[in-house]
């Protein structure tokens, strides 16, 4: 197990300032928030990025989806979809972690970073619906104008989500993906596979922002932001 007496968190301001400029540059009018948890990212888009367009949040933990639904009572352009996304339509077991932002369709590794192993300790398991984005995007994006932004923070299921969104990616102008450099879950591809898949899907990197790093400066994970490559 990695000894991590101190874990440094990201400077979110740099990421959010980057998104603010990117949203304006690409005229983003719709944001898909996959892995919305309790809605903190939604609040950041509204208050810091200054985004006033449509937000569609995906959150499979029922209690968290209910919290976002309560937010939506006061935000007419916010909608929550209470299920998970993946490569296909199925029912999967979701491991609910002590710190529920670390809940995952993948089991936590037994030799992960010490502090994260504690936070990621499984408290219970629930069955959740999983859908590919391609199966529902036409309904969700019907009538959407302007640019579309896709954020994925799915604790190891990110590449499965991209695999289930091959057709939808043609509608996406920019995306943000949390990419692991230190594995916290089982059966997670190495970081270079994320960058290769996103490059192959036609997106260029615009910024990399560390999320957590160890006291010795090793990075645990990053938020990577991409925009669609210009047409040749």
Q: What is the pLDDT of residues 135-147, one digit of tens each?
A: 999 999 988 889 9
pLDDT in tens, the chain (232 residues): 444 444 556 568 899 999 999 999 999 999 999 999 889 999 999 999 999 999 999 999 899 999 999 999 999 999 999 999 999 999 988 888 776 667 777 777 765 544 455 555 667 888 989 999 999 999 999 888 899 999 999 887 899 999 999 999 999 999 999 998 887 777 788 899 999 999 999 999 999 998 887 777 788 889 999 999 987 6
- Count the residues in the chain: 232
Domains of the chain: 8-86+132-228 (3.40.50.150)
């Amino acid at each position: 197990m990695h000894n991590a007496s101190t874990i440094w968190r990201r400077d979110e301001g740099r990421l959010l300032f980057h998104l603010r400029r990117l949203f304006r540059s690409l005229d983003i009018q719709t944001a898909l928030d996959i892995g919305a948890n309790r809605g903190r990212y939604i609040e950041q888009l509204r208050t810091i990025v200054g985004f006033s367009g449509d937000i569609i949040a995906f959150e499979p933990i029922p209690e968290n989806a209910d919290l976002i639904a309560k937010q939506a009572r006061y935000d007419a352009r916010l909608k929550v979809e209470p299920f998970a996304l993946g490569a296909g339509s199925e029912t999967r077991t979701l491991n609910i972690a002590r710190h529920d932002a670390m809940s995952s369709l993948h089991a936590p590794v037994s030799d992960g970073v010490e502090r994260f192993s504690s936070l990621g300790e499984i408290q219970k398991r629930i069955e959740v619906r999983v859908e590919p984005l391609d199966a529902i995007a036409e309904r969700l994006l019907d009538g959407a104008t302007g640019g579309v932004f896709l954020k994925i923070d799915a604790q190891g299921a990110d590449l499965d989500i991209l695999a289930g969104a091959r057709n939808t990616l043609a509608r996406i102008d920019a995306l943000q993906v949390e990419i692991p450099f230190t594995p916290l879950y089982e059966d997670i591809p190495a970081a270079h596979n994320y960058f290769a898949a996103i490059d192959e899907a036609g997106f260029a990197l615009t910024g990399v922002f560390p999320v957590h790093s160890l006291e010795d400066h090793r990075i645990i994970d990053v938020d990577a932001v991409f925009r669609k490559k210009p047409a040749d």
